[in-house]
Chain A
């Protein structure tokens, strides 16, 4: 296995773990944690491709990673604010119990 493949496999494993968490866990905060994991897996790919790919002096991979990090931070802040607001109304963070719109 080449070095790049090792990083790619690790990143897909982390992505899958995050995906599995989002699909199976019912707590809103845990779902957010899963999304963070998936974003980080993508970031690892960016850095690995920057390191092993062509043209590393253009720094594209690192730039992508920095911007993805900014977006992830914004997402986490807004997401957690929404969770807190919902918790105030429904007194729960369990996604299955948030069914105000269900008939």
Chain B
């Protein structure tokens, strides 16, 4: 019974595949893997916009949307209808083809990365040998789409927003990949399925997730911070920066194309959250042995929703960075910490099991953290403000 519920989607796919002639099997199999992804994640996007607005409202002691439907649950439908019926405006000076292509490329790229995310036991669209590499390689194309949007609009604000976005994404891609590399190094595989399998065991009630180890915890935090920056969310939402450059690279987009940008932004957020779950939070494994009756896909989505809630919480709390702070934080803090974390993970892998391994790994991370924190933040040199004209 429990297994049947766990494998319900896999079994359903097999049932649907049975009557198909063997010539068409690969095509139908691919379609049956892709179509649910195309339906589930936009649905999750709609749910997340609602949760985000409600949650932000409550964080700021407001009610949040509560008009459309009971408790406002139909708000995403209303938003969607409103966006779809808006006029599609293309500026006169724009390069029309690239202007059209940018959101399309962005959405396609955002969907492609889901191919390697294991959503449950036996539930991954393609188990690539180089899955993690695929994830990051395809993800980089998003930067180009952002540039296309910013440049094709012929608007100085969108160009500025695009430049900011690209600079930010490049700077934070390095700690993002470096913190993922620690996991790849310890498991010895780039395949997402193998990485999840490596976190299957339990000691007592405690799962062997990588986040439970010192280097894994540090890697997880670094990964989350970089992922926030990669998906341009607050406090790293400078590319959009409503108060300074209006809406960044998508000022000149309206109607359906704007909705595509919005969708792609959230899809990117879900994708990096899913990657964080796969790499550090044990993928679809239950958090304790006595919780293993929960279907694996339910575990994954609960973890995903928890991470999304964390992102919303962070957005409701933290103010936006300044551009120079953003860059310095990446190059002077995140990248050194990611490199140190890499060494720590390597030592963890080399040393035998025992308390000294924990001690070494912990000290190797904590010492640079405290030193960097003291030297960069405490003496106020890190965020020292320089004025060009005054003083």
Direct touching of A and B (C-beta under 8 Å): no
| A residues neighboring B (CB under 8 Å) | none
